[in-house]
Amino acid sequence: MESIIKYLWLIPAAPLLAAGISALLPRRRRRLSAGLAIGAISLSLLLSCAAFVATFHSGPVTNNFRWFDFGSTSVQLGWVLDPLGAIMAVMVALVSLLIFIYSLGYMAKDPNFTRFFCFLALFAAAMLGLVLANSLLLFFMCWELVGLASYLLIGFWFQKPSAAAAAKKAFIVTRIGDLGFLVGMLLLYATTGTLLFYDHGQGCLEPTAAGGLVASTTIALLIFCGAVGKSGQLPLHVWLPDAMEGPTPVSALIHAATMVAAGVFLIARVYPLMTLDAKQVVAWVGALTAVFAASIAVAQNDIKRILAYSTVSQLGYMMMGLGAGGVAVGMFHLTTHAFFKALLFLGAGSVIHGCHEEQDIRKMGGLRLRLPVTFATYAVGMMALCGVPLFFSGFWSKDAILDSFDREHWLGSQAPFYLGLFGAFLTAFYMTRQVCRVFFGKPNTPEAEHAHESPPVMTIPLVILAGLAVVAGFFGTPAWPWFQAYLTGRQAGFDLSKLMEGHALMVMLFSTGLVTVAIVWSGWIYGRAASRPARETDPLQAAQPALFACLQKKFYVDEFYDATVVRLTAAFAKFSDWLDRVVLGGLVRAVCWLVLALARLDRNVDESVVNEGFDVGSETVRDSGRWVSRLQNGQVQRYLRVIGLAFCALLLLLLWGSR
């Protein structure tokens, strides 16, 4: 434990180094770049596993160091190894490794392969740094770095205007949240005087800190703003679906499994700062986001966009779990979601790859026979996401969230609970719709007809992730809550009877019923629709055109922002432009004109008065010099003559003077 903490910095440093080297490599060194990135992330994974094992034996350990001093205060950064960070580090490194390998196949034909791996490694470094940071400041730096990596990767195909716009949108929208985060951080520093999480009893998360634990709703909510931006919660969720313009491995790694979960991780990290009111807000925002995004996902036709809204909705669940149930509940869903959502995205990537870059689910169909491995693994991911009982991880983690709205623990309103149930219903509904559209029925286009399975380098990560998506759930069942116990530092006991306890059982049965109804209903609607080829109108659209249109337009949120915030900003920019051009520019021009006029006057004075005067003076001096120089003509005798005359004159003067 003591030794591993000294080498903890290597976990983020290894991929960072790989990114640095890749950045300098010429474009054709594809193998070297990919090899570096994969080697570095493997090293990080090994170290993370070692760190993870080390956390079994002792509590959190830290390694703080001084960054710089100013005046009498010094800014400290540091690394921390505790269960929360360790499990997240292992998850991030593992998913990153699988996605890196998958990218070998997916990006094989891209001319900018080297750059892609450079960015991926940079992202992995920043994310691992974020996970292991022991200072809110270091956390924030890594937080911004993952934002940068996300920006670079969304805009990876920057030739596409939509990708460039999506990258900008993601960067700007998350910046709004980050502003809140920054202000919250400054407030926290102002009240506690430290940004270290753990510092031998002096950190800002420790109840024994000098000023006591600061539990301020303001600070908590400001920090939550950052999480809202990064994790795509209402009302800053708009960037996440657009971020799907990036390559699919990026969507899987950054915009599904890891980076967007950083917001959830942030709340889990600073959980001691969360007051009761703040938790209420977190739970409400999460619940609203969950239902809001899930309902939009029902009406989307782009395979990745559906998954994107699903991600937003699942992030809402995580927030809900954090608000209502605590760190363990939220983090459990984060972990399981990372596995099955990465799986779904990679599966979607495999489908897109197989169908020659087609992303519209209406133009697919019947792919289960042509992409058998992808279909099997996708089905596992879909069932995990829907929460199909007992064997799939999503079931356990989602029920843990819903179960935390137990009346004994949760004192607030029960509305988020019902929203969560409704969200679960919608989730099962849209995932069934998608799977029916993509994999069942008959192929709707020639591309789908000639689809081909992806190479093993892409399918093997899918299989591994499918295995994880199943297995991960068993670590957090009510009967054996190992995950929750690990995070809270208790011993987990195996007790089957916990499964049968009142609230938990009721929630499980209820959600199982809802999910079954949703899958059957959706399967019935879309199973029939899929067998009718190339049908353009959705069955739901036929039944409820107005509602469907509203959902398809994403509740007009983008349009609303365009009409309000964007237009206001544009108007303000135009006003500023006018101010700059007319008022300030005019002022500058007036000053300029004044100076020019003065200069012209000055020149005239100089030329007519000063120059003339000098000319005349100089000529006088020159003439007089010419006249005087005639005295000295070199004729010695004339000099003598002058002397003689002068002598005579002197003599006469003396003679007269003496008289």
Q: Which residues bind other proteins (CB under 8 A)?
A: 629, 632-637, 640-641, 644
Closest CA to 324 of 287, 269, 272: 287
Number of helices (H) and strands (E) in the chain: give both, helices first.
29, 2
Tell the smallest beta-carbon distance from residue 634 to other proteins (Å): 3
For 566-592, give one letter per residue: b (16+ CB within 10 A) or e. eeeeeeeeeeeeeeeeeeeeeeeeeee
Least distance (Å) between residue 632 CB and other proteins: 4
Nearer to other proteins, 471 or 642 (CB): 642
**Nearer to other proteins among residue 159 and residue 637 (C-beta):** 637
Of 58 and 624, which CB lies nearer to other proteins in the complex structure?
624
Cα 390 to Cα 396: distance, rounded to the nearest angstrom: 7
Q: Work out how close the CB of 593 gets to other proteins at its nearest, in angstroms, rounded to a whole number.
A: 54
Q: Are 274 and 205 in contact (CB under 8 A)?
A: no
Task: Spell out the residues 6+ positions from residue 294 whose beta carbon is closer than 8 angstroms to its own.
Answer: 309, 310, 313, 423, 426, 427, 430
Dist CA 259 CA 251 (whole Å):
10
Closest CB 648 distance from other proteins, rounded Å:
10
Question: Between 109 and 626, whose beta carbon lies closer to other proteins?
Answer: 626
Which DSSP symbol is given to 159? T
Min separation Cβ 651 and other proteins, Å: 11
**Between residues 571 and 640, which has the closer beta carbon with respect to other proteins?**
640
* Core vs surface per residue 200-214: b (16+ CB within 10 A) or e: eeebbbbeebeeeeb
Q: Taking a C-beta distance cutoff of 8 angstroms, is the pair 364, 350 a contact?
A: no
Q: Which of 435, 286, 270, 263 is nearest to 365 (CA)?
A: 435
Nearer to other proteins, 497 or 629 (CB): 629
Between 546 and 628, name the residue whose CB sits nearer to other proteins. 628
To the nearest whole angstrom, how small is the minimum distance from the Cβ of residue 620 to other proteins? 19
Q: Which is nearer to other proteins, 570 or 640 (CB)?
A: 640
- Find the shortest distance in angstroms from Cβ 644 to other proteins: 6
Which are the contacts of 531, defined by CB distance < 8 A and separation ≥ 6?
440, 441, 442
Name the minimum Å distance from CB 659 to other proteins. Answer: 19
Cis peptide before 235 (omega within 30 of 0): yes
Measured from the CB atom, the residue of 545 and 644 that comes closer to other proteins is: 644
Taking the mean position of all CA atoms in its chain, how far away is CA 631?
95
The pair of three-digit structure tokens given for residue 538, joined into one six-digit string: 């959705």
CB of 598 to other proteins, least distance (A): 46
